[in-house]
Structure 1
Amino acid sequence: MPDLWMPGATRLDIGDHAPTDGGPAKAIAHITWDRNATAAKPQDLVPYENLRAYFSGSGKGVAPHILWDPFTGRITQFTPADSRSKSLADASGGTRTNRAGSVVLQIEALFFPYCRVGDAVFPTLKSTPCKGWTELQNWVHSWGVPHVWPMGRPDDFTPHRSERTWEEEAGWYAHAHVPENTHQDPGSWPAFVTTEAAPAATEPFPGASFFKAGRRSPIIAAMHKRLVAVGCGRYKSSANSDVWGSGDVASYAAWQRHLGYTGASADGIPGAKSWSALRVPNV
């Protein structure tokens, strides 16, 4: 099992744990946006300690999982990975935003546009040193969140939201992408430092008849891992990942739709062309 508490982060458990609902694994990118600065009038960055005290005190009701300081690499975690946190608005009767996934990991970067640190002014988050980002992205990825942005990596403060994408696609989302929310952040986010390379040697297509309920095989386990890596995992559990079941059908159907197949051609049963495109590593 991945680490509930990120290795190297300061652990500050605020309690009030509650489970998520299952579904595509997600991470949500936020910035703290503590002050409104401009290029003409930059302002000093708010001290990290102020935000840490806020989220563990009067701001517990809106605390994220992670507070990340991209200037120093300091990270504090307030809630374990398998619990929901409360950084998203959650309207009654709709999708339970803070719980809508196997994990919904909320990351607050200590930043606002045109913040000043020393003599330097930083207009965007990605222009900061982004210290600690590699370790942070790798921990998030260990929880099944693929290195993808289903609605696009944020590069401005324009909100755009799709509830269908939110409900069906695993990956990273900007706060500006989340249904029921009105925030426009984070405006930008650092690129993934590494992405999983497709394997050089791939598993030959075993034939459609191979994929029958209850079939156990390392090929199915390898396929499971690839589907998660490309952002099409629809698994509710990683148990019995080598046994063909309903989660595989749902996940493979998502892959087929990703390739542009529709209707009966996206039934969740592998075909030769879609299998070749997935590049399952040879086992």
Structure 2
Amino acid sequence: MSTKTGPQRYPGASRANWYQDDFGGDPMEVNVVVLHTTEGYTLPGYDGGATAPNLTAMPDLAAKKLKWYQHFDIETSSRALVNLKGGVETNTMNVCQVELGGTCDPATHAKWKAAGHDHVYWPDAPDWALQGVARFLAWMHEEHGVPLSGPASWPAYPTSYGTGGGQRMTAAQWTKFKGICGHMHVPENVHGDPGAIDFARILKYAKADLDVDDDGTETKTTTKPTTTTKPKVPAFPGRKYFVAGASNAYVLQLGKQLVKRGFGDHYKVGPSKTWGDADRLNVRDFQKSRKELRGDADGTPGPLTWKLLFS
């Protein structure tokens, strides 16, 4: 179990279906992404959040893009995997889980197509859908260090169901694994999603987005520092600057940091110098995301909130 180290919100993801307040989860330092398919063409309810992943990507076929919904912080355990008592850890094994709206089942695909239900069949997904997944994986690589690599075997459904396709990891393999895999690769689970998704093409797009070679090394010529330094935390100015109607540079500084850390959902335009309800709600969301602050998540920044937000 580790302290959260990167942005916890995927930029642009909706929090209209947020479940972390009801199912707190465990903090983790994520190094694995598990891809699922919802096997449905509308946004799932996930039993009120009891079986939800960290994020869901629903295809917007008219706009040719994925619409993202975030249900848990990136580095908070979600609930979409089977985790048998006394077995290997799954949901809490440093895993960020993503459900892709649509199906991997050719029989379901044929049935929906005949019935006129618009959807994405992921083994034959359009480029824009694969690129949408790739952009997320590139962000996870850049912000959380998840390797842009994964299993070689992505068998088609229904072969991928159970253990028939030979793709299921052993407990030892799963414990050592870092990178990107499917639901069908996780031990203790029998589901076969996302089937024969074009994983090679997704990785190609993700690496192109980051300008890295096939082996994962960067091709950019920019010089990187050889040493890292901790960011300097600005001194907390005091609560008097964060009251209703207050207008000052500290409010704007706080707002910009909230956005940078992925907690700017309540801003309609962006942060400003004037303290308002959107600032309070964004601060409250950040406080709820940190175990140290959950008992005092009132939306008013204090010294500890300030320190954790800027460190």
In 2: Cα distance, 1:21 partner to 1:93 partner? 20
Partner in structure 2 of residue 91 of structure 1: 84
From 9, 18, 35, the counterpart of 1:13: 18
Shift of 1:174: 0.9
Secondary structure of 1:188 counterpart: coil
Secondary structure of 2:33 counterpart: strand
Partner in structure 1 of residue 193 of structure 2: 185
Partner in structure 1 of residue 154 of structure 2: 154
Secondary structure of 2:140 counterpart: helix
Q: Give yes or no for the alignment of 1:74 onto 2:62.
A: no
Measured against aligned partners, the alpha-carbon deviations of 1:201-253 in whole angstroms (never above 9, x if no partner) come to 99xxxxxxxxxxxxxx938x8xxxxxxxxxxxxxxxxxxxxxxxxxxxxxxxx
What is the TM-score when the length of structure 1 is the normalising length? 0.57
Q: Give yes or no for the alignment of 1:164 onto 2:201.
A: no
Secondary structure of 2:91 counterpart: helix
Aligned residues: 185
Secondary structure of 1:97 counterpart: coil
In 2: Cα distance, 1:3 partner to 1:90 partner? 26
> How much is the aligned-residue C-alpha RMSD, in angstroms?
2.9
Shift of 1:145: 1.2
Query: In structure 2, do the counterparts of structure 1 residues 21 and 10 end up closer, same or farther at CA, with 3 Å as the change threshold?
Result: closer
Residues 135, 206 of structure 2: 8 Å contact kept:
no
In 2: Cα distance, 1:122 partner to 1:199 partner? 32
Shift of 1:122: 5.3
Secondary structure of 1:132 counterpart: helix
Partner in structure 1 of residue 54 of structure 2: 65
Query: In structure 2, do the counterparts of structure 1 residues 28 and 144 end up closer, same or farther at CA, with 3 Å as the change threshold?
Result: same
What is the TM-score when the length of structure 2 is the normalising length? 0.52
Residues 33, 146 of structure 2: 8 Å contact kept:
yes
In 1: Cα distance, 2:69 partner to 2:28 partner? 24
In 1: Cα distance, 2:116 partner to 2:174 partner? 39
In 2: Cα distance, 1:77 partner to 1:26 partner? 17
Secondary structure of 1:218 counterpart: coil
Q: Give yes or no for the alignment of 1:100 onto 2:104.
A: no
- Which structure is richer in relative contact order (CA contacts within 8 A, separation 6 or more)? 1
Secondary structure of 1:76 counterpart: strand
What is the identity, as a one-letter code, of the residue corresponding to 2:125? S
- Give the unaligned 5+ runs of structure 1: 35-45, 203-216, 222-283
Partner in structure 2 of residue 145 of structure 1: 146
In 2: Cα distance, 1:199 partner to 1:47 partner? 38
In 2: Cα distance, 1:201 partner to 1:69 partner? 32
What is the identity, as a one-letter code, of the residue corresponding to 2:31? A
Query: In structure 2, do the counterparts of structure 1 residues 123 and 135 end up closer, same or farther at CA, with 3 Å as the change threshold?
Result: closer
In 1: Cα distance, 2:31 partner to 2:220 partner? 28
More helix by proportion, 1 or 2? 2
Partner in structure 1 of residue 279 of structure 2: none
Shift of 1:171: 0.5
Structure 1 runs of 4+ with >4 Å offset: 117-123, 199-202
Partner in structure 2 of residue 28 of structure 1: 34
Measured against aligned partners, the alpha-carbon deviations of 1:62-109 in whole angstroms (never above 9, x if no partner) come to 0001110234310100000111000000001111200112xx110100
Partner in structure 1 of residue 133 of structure 2: 133
Measured against aligned partners, the alpha-carbon deviations of 1:105-147 in whole angstroms (never above 9, x if no partner) come to 1010001131439697754344234062233222322222111
What is the identity, as a one-letter code, of the residue corresponding to 1:63? A
Query: In structure 2, do the counterparts of structure 1 residues 199 and 82 end up closer, same or farther at CA, with 3 Å as the change threshold?
Result: closer
Query: In structure 2, do the counterparts of structure 1 residues 138 and 19 end up closer, same or farther at CA, with 3 Å as the change threshold?
Result: same
- Give the unaligned 5+ runs of structure 2: 229-311
What is the identity, as a one-letter code, of the residue corresponding to 1:80? D
